[in-house]
Structure 1
């Protein structure tokens, strides 16, 4: 079991470990839960006093530590007794005894209260007698301890994740590689979008198309994941053709990157992995912030408030809102946003919680452009038409998450979301071939309706003294309907070196097509996490997917229909060498249907399939708040779609292999230092291709080496001076090939970021963040005959008041 959570609480809350538990030499007899002795009462409050509790689901050791903090009592527990036991979420105002009974329910443990008010956790023993065990003492002084509800946001490090296994599992225990970007890290770097959020993550290549801001372009382990690999609160946010909206980074409290094939739990996905974004949730303790961010052609106002609806209420709320009027680096660009996200949580009792998540987003954006070969001009130059340069999206979401503890061992969870997106996409762009200056015009008017729901049953039990079982069974469904009306045409030529714009009168476009893509996906999955003798954790999972895809070309009256189905599996094994170190291995599979027209595929349509083998080690020291991971992997994707320009048809003979190494470390050392380190080595190779000469080459835009580092340090204030935080980072991307033919190499680049934050008062702070501090000009990719430049230097200042 991972006791790192308790160690971190120890550091933040002055929780002191006095003695370590001795190893048990004999197993405890099976036990049943019984009510505590009614005579075990403490005067002046103690175990019978009411408190506001907010203890997330986690290991029992960590949960008991937080219980002691929030109840203001001393707790002692033998480390061996609590090993391998998970505690449920405790949320609400109640007697301390009620909260403690809920934490211990089904654990085979009970408690007693000594004459000095100390709470002693003990095993329920058989009539054969008791075993006396030395204890791990946890001391708590509630008024001096930092608010535990902010434990995630006050650190770059978390110890648990639901993304990797869809269960609340310590990262140390899971047999897969997962990286978590916390709200604290996002705030420190002042991230403006998802690409910036994951830019310091091992195995991830972000911002491949530089100034192109239509979507969040993310590669994981060499494979593009922007179409199928985006998830919000565990539910898919897939992209079909063009219609989709980017998430608002200010509305996120955490971003998880799960690496490798994931279809055994999440269904259709690429082999590289997925990104799961967690929306900000209501908190039981009132808090909030308002801020303004300003820079060159950039003005933002935002606020985030949360707390209980009323005193002793079962309801809590959160309202997150943002307004922005901004431009990006390229001429005639814009980045205007409105975002409003009300959320509510209802907790009628300890066993049930309902969270309602809604949001509205309106973004008015321009488009980033590639520069055709042969044109050498400013990276901010604009070759389109200012009045026909829009990528505007309006998105509405309404969803919920429901959890209900049916009994001590059985829990039901359900989350669902409905999404509607409207898109206006209008652009004029340069032809990427001679003669230079010729321009094309293009427009898409799209409408997307998406519904997704995921139902889960989790059953936890101890099979014997040797085995603990965590069984998950799920059924999910998603339906996406995407209708797009397309227009194509031309615009008057332009001199790229002295552009003169002519307005709407020189644009000539005609209606091309009206297409509706409907895809319904059904998934049934099961997973078993079996803990053997506390040290071995075997994870076995499987999933059956059935996908119905219809492409209805309304303009021509034709329809392509087909059904796909696939069973995918996962096998993983983790060995807990110590409470701080685990070693793991896994095999997993991916499944990626192809929804394009059957008519363009003379050899039929087959799903793209992937397999992965991975081994790794994780180290989470108890003495400091840190997590270090290393992984080596071998990924292969088959049936990769390839386009034959001569026949204008697609064929699925492509095969790509990606092998590599990932190293990552995250540390929050005290309240003064945060650090991230990441390195990725990728040995990627084309194994099969329509063009025989490409076989053995490196896939386009996949670097062999990537690295990043971030460090910030806080100089404590003295007297009238407040804390001063200085931070800086570097992101390195190595050489990569322009195309699969490997006819041109793009040079490596290093980009530096920086941050300064000054605490004017306890509640007011002023920060300045810079990305690409040295204004490095570099080509992020060279695709479709055009060069895409990375963003230039951006400097933003933020004045924030929080309470």
Structure 2
């Protein structure tokens, strides 16, 4: 890989680094709410007894179809979400495209990271950079949302510079993907959309599991248990933890994890819930693996330095979720979280065919302190044929990033017969030593009006104020900037029947950019979308179809290695189809197809207008099917699953001179019920070990992840 200095920043020759550095200069996407209004759990119906009689009334449990917006689902189909509107609303009623990956689906596919979790979701492209496993990389509707588009429990977890951690999927109940411009409710973001991860929460019933996962260089143990505390029903708890000693397919790779997450919920009555969440997440990971393009080499080959190879993070989180409903239709909600992240990043990269050419050495010592809070007030009312749901909110994020970066050289290496030179051949010189402080305040409002339970009009607006300060620790120099914006959203849903709806929406996005030495206008985006959603009565399923037209303006592009011009414009038009079906107690089917017509409409002086943006495929398709053969007494249930994922060809550059072919990979799963409450499962990703290049960037190729086969033995109670 190569290193290019741009306005006092370092850009590794890594295919996704450009987007991270743009994000490092940009304020972050603000908050999205994941907490929702719970459905009533019981009702009583009985005529008045005669005086003096004692009558015992039977409790009737009313279950919401598709589950609530934060709880776990026992199927792959979810029909409610708080992500699309920040209110507890059926997905069918929302004028936007929302996909939910339930806890049941996460377990069926044995998801190891967020990229795997959303890999069967329409209009989401993941793992663009193959063996680069420092972050969870993803595009939504053709726009890179890696840096700004990830949320947890409605609060942002962006990537400011290099310092960031990854979500632990075993700690999640579900993930929700909102597609399209999201700034009206969630603040700073690109036009593609976002992923909201819902943390596992305490449950009303006692439960538990303990498991071990093994395979190759992978050893893992974990547990998840909880339930009510005492007999009053006011308190409940949950404890989730894993320990993992593992490596990835590449030589000298690492994927060690420790995750511990306690949670306690206090609910003194049906109207009030307060949950305290905390977690410790330590990961010892690996850096990116890149190779000279056009060279046929074993993808497991390591061309860095084993003694200088780490991407280790340590993260602490503590926060709360609060929800209270008054008797008059008024509700208040508040979500908050404090985060601390430390990063130790060491890498040697950039090996060339000529072994006499030096490689590049790179080091980062980083620290992030973040506080985020989102406060909401909701009022529900009805007048004759009209139902109203009014939401107002204020959110605030305070981010402090401190990073010391060193860059230097290391001796060259023979890529066909690597012999490592150790720490003694590595030089490092000061490069960057700075602090970035961002304060982001958002005020938003939304009105949802429903007429005759058929017409649903959604109107929203938001004002954002973003203050960014950059400070050089060595010189004391400061760079301050303030950006403000008002974004709008309008949507209309018409329910043709109770299970069939059509919708349309218009929405906007807002994404400031701060770069050292240059002042840019914020990037702005717009979206027009129409779609159809269908919930059949006969089966548990949800089908969606959407057509969209997204545009982002003020996109910067490099006209020299150190100079940018901000006259760029990128447009993506496309169609997405998705179906999730729990056909019966035995079969589940997940299918998705995406078409993206992406074009650079303006690109400064580089002559790329009319080209396709780099790393944006034209076609995406996936299919997952699992079927359970019921046990017969002597034999337990046997579940067989298989999946296929297709990613179309891409260009490795905006000039469209580097072609990267399409690839298709297969996944598989087998689960056998050994005994009551004991299961043995085997999961395989990239089953046939397909060797493919995921992208090429400035002469460096990145291979996709190879085959991984893992076995899991689990006992649950």
* TM-score scaled by length of structure 2: 0.91
Q: Residue deviations 1:191-216, cap 9 Å, x none?
A: 00000000000000011111111000
Question: C-alpha distance in 1, partners of 2:62/2:336?
Answer: 40
Aligned equivalent of 1:693, options 592, 601, 607: 607
- How far residue 556 of structure 1 moved from its aligned partner, in angstroms, is 2.9
Corresponding position of 1:530: 449
RMSD: 2.4
Q: Residue deviations 1:528-555, cap 9 Å, x none?
A: 0000121100000000000001111112
Corresponding position of 2:409: 490
- How far residue 669 of structure 1 moved from its aligned partner, in angstroms, is 1.7
* Counterpart check, 1:636 vs 2:551: yes
Corresponding position of 1:264: 184
Instruction: Indicate if the aligned counterparts of 2:35 and 2:321 stay in contact, CA closer than 8 A.
Output: no
* Counterpart check, 1:577 vs 2:496: yes
Corresponding position of 2:636: 722
Corresponding position of 2:138: 218
* Counterpart check, 1:619 vs 2:562: no
Q: 1 or 2 for the larger relative contact order (CA 8 Å, sep ≥6)? A: 2
| 5+ long unaligned stretches in structure 2 | 1-33
Instruction: Indicate if the aligned counterparts of 1:432 and 1:786 stay in contact, CA closer than 8 A.
Output: no
Question: C-alpha distance in 1, partners of 2:62/2:80?
Answer: 25
Q: Secondary structure at the match of 1:172?
A: helix
Q: Residue deviations 1:577-633, cap 9 Å, x none?
A: 000000000000000111221x1x2xx311110000000000011221100000000
- How far residue 644 of structure 1 moved from its aligned partner, in angstroms, is 2.9
Question: C-alpha distance in 2, partners of 1:202/1:147?
Answer: 22
Corresponding position of 1:22: none
- How far residue 408 of structure 1 moved from its aligned partner, in angstroms, is 2.7
- How far residue 503 of structure 1 moved from its aligned partner, in angstroms, is 1.3
Relative to structure 1, is the Cα distance of residues 692 and 562 closer, same or farther in structure 2, using a 3 angstrom cutoff?
Answer: same
- How far residue 737 of structure 1 moved from its aligned partner, in angstroms, is 1.2
Relative to structure 1, is the Cα distance of residues 167 and 433 closer, same or farther in structure 2, using a 3 angstrom cutoff?
Answer: farther
Higher helix share: 1
Corresponding position of 2:667: 753
Question: C-alpha distance in 2, partners of 1:114/1:785?
Answer: 83
Q: Which moved more, 1:700-709 or 1:637-646?
A: 637-646
Corresponding position of 1:683: 597
Q: Secondary structure at the match of 2:43?
A: helix
- How far residue 559 of structure 1 moved from its aligned partner, in angstroms, is 1.1
- How far residue 140 of structure 1 moved from its aligned partner, in angstroms, is 7.9
Higher strand share: 2
Aligned equivalent of 2:278, options 358, 369, 386: 358
Question: C-alpha distance in 1, partners of 2:164/2:263?
Answer: 22
Q: Which moved more, 1:448-457 or 1:689-698?
A: 689-698
Relative to structure 1, is the Cα distance of residues 436 and 295 closer, same or farther in structure 2, using a 3 angstrom cutoff?
Answer: farther
Corresponding position of 1:560: 479
Corresponding position of 1:100: 43
- How far residue 421 of structure 1 moved from its aligned partner, in angstroms, is 0.0
- How far residue 271 of structure 1 moved from its aligned partner, in angstroms, is 0.4
Question: C-alpha distance in 1, partners of 2:230/2:117?
Answer: 34
Corresponding position of 1:180: 100
Q: Which aligned pairs between 1:733-772 and structure 2 lie closer than 5 A?
A: 733-772=647-686
Corresponding position of 2:79: 159
* Counterpart check, 1:702 vs 2:622: no
Q: Residue deviations 1:687-727, cap 9 Å, x none?
A: 00023521001111111111000000000000210000000
Relative to structure 1, is the Cα distance of residues 655 and 513 closer, same or farther in structure 2, using a 3 angstrom cutoff?
Answer: same
Aligned equivalent of 2:339, options 386, 408, 419: 419
Q: Secondary structure at the match of 1:505?
A: helix
* Counterpart check, 1:244 vs 2:164: yes
Instruction: Indicate if the aligned counterparts of 1:430 and 1:436 stay in contact, CA closer than 8 A.
Output: no
Corresponding position of 1:333: 253
Relative to structure 1, is the Cα distance of residues 296 and 519 closer, same or farther in structure 2, using a 3 angstrom cutoff?
Answer: same
Corresponding position of 1:125: none
Q: Residue deviations 1:7-36, cap 9 Å, x none?
A: xxxxxxxxxxxxxxxxxxxxxxxxxxxxxx
Question: C-alpha distance in 2, partners of 1:113/1:768?
Answer: 57
Q: Which aligned pairs between 1:36-435 and structure 2 lie closer than 5 A?
A: 88-90=38-40, 99-100=42-43, 112=47, 152-431=72-351
Instruction: Indicate if the aligned counterparts of 2:148 and 2:190 stay in contact, CA closer than 8 A.
Output: yes
Relative to structure 1, is the Cα distance of residues 151 and 88 closer, same or farther in structure 2, using a 3 angstrom cutoff?
Answer: closer
Question: C-alpha distance in 1, partners of 2:485/2:474?
Answer: 32
Give the paired residue count: 679
Corresponding position of 1:542: 461
- How far residue 786 of structure 1 moved from its aligned partner, in angstroms, is 1.1
Corresponding position of 1:17: none
Q: Residue deviations 1:139-193, cap 9 Å, x none?
A: 9899xxx999998431000110000100000000000000000000000000000
Relative to structure 1, is the Cα distance of residues 433 and 381 closer, same or farther in structure 2, using a 3 angstrom cutoff?
Answer: closer
Greater C-alpha radius of gyration: 1
Instruction: Indicate if the aligned counterparts of 1:204 and 1:220 stay in contact, CA closer than 8 A.
Output: yes
Relative to structure 1, is the Cα distance of residues 420 and 150 closer, same or farther in structure 2, using a 3 angstrom cutoff?
Answer: closer
Relative to structure 1, is the Cα distance of residues 113 and 239 closer, same or farther in structure 2, using a 3 angstrom cutoff?
Answer: farther
Relative to structure 1, is the Cα distance of residues 113 and 594 closer, same or farther in structure 2, using a 3 angstrom cutoff?
Answer: farther
Q: Residue deviations 1:549-575, cap 9 Å, x none?
A: 111111232111010000000000000
Q: Secondary structure at the match of 2:331?
A: strand
* Counterpart check, 1:449 vs 2:392: no
Relative to structure 1, is the Cα distance of residues 276 and 210 closer, same or farther in structure 2, using a 3 angstrom cutoff?
Answer: same
Instruction: Indicate if the aligned counterparts of 1:149 and 1:283 stay in contact, CA closer than 8 A.
Output: no
Relative to structure 1, is the Cα distance of residues 432 and 202 closer, same or farther in structure 2, using a 3 angstrom cutoff?
Answer: farther
* TM-score scaled by length of structure 1: 0.82
Corresponding position of 2:524: 609
- How far residue 651 of structure 1 moved from its aligned partner, in angstroms, is 2.1
Instruction: Indicate if the aligned counterparts of 2:392 and 2:444 stay in contact, CA closer than 8 A.
Output: yes
Question: C-alpha distance in 1, partners of 2:329/2:35?
Answer: 14
Question: C-alpha distance in 2, partners of 1:297/1:669?
Answer: 37
| 5+ long unaligned stretches in structure 1 | 1-55, 59-86, 92-98, 102-109, 121-137
Instruction: Indicate if the aligned counterparts of 2:69 and 2:80 stay in contact, CA closer than 8 A.
Output: no
Relative to structure 1, is the Cα distance of residues 481 and 248 closer, same or farther in structure 2, using a 3 angstrom cutoff?
Answer: same
Q: Which aligned pairs between 1:466-481 and structure 2 lie closer than 5 A?
A: 466-481=385-400
Question: C-alpha distance in 1, partners of 2:605/2:393?
Answer: 42
Question: C-alpha distance in 1, partners of 2:694/2:48?
Answer: 63
Question: C-alpha distance in 1, partners of 2:35/2:444?
Answer: 23
Question: C-alpha distance in 1, partners of 2:612/2:285?
Answer: 34
Aligned equivalent of 2:689, options 753, 759, 775: 775
Relative to structure 1, is the Cα distance of residues 427 and 268 closer, same or farther in structure 2, using a 3 angstrom cutoff?
Answer: same
- How far residue 513 of structure 1 moved from its aligned partner, in angstroms, is 2.0
Q: Residue deviations 1:230-269, cap 9 Å, x none?
A: 0000000111110000010100110000000000000000
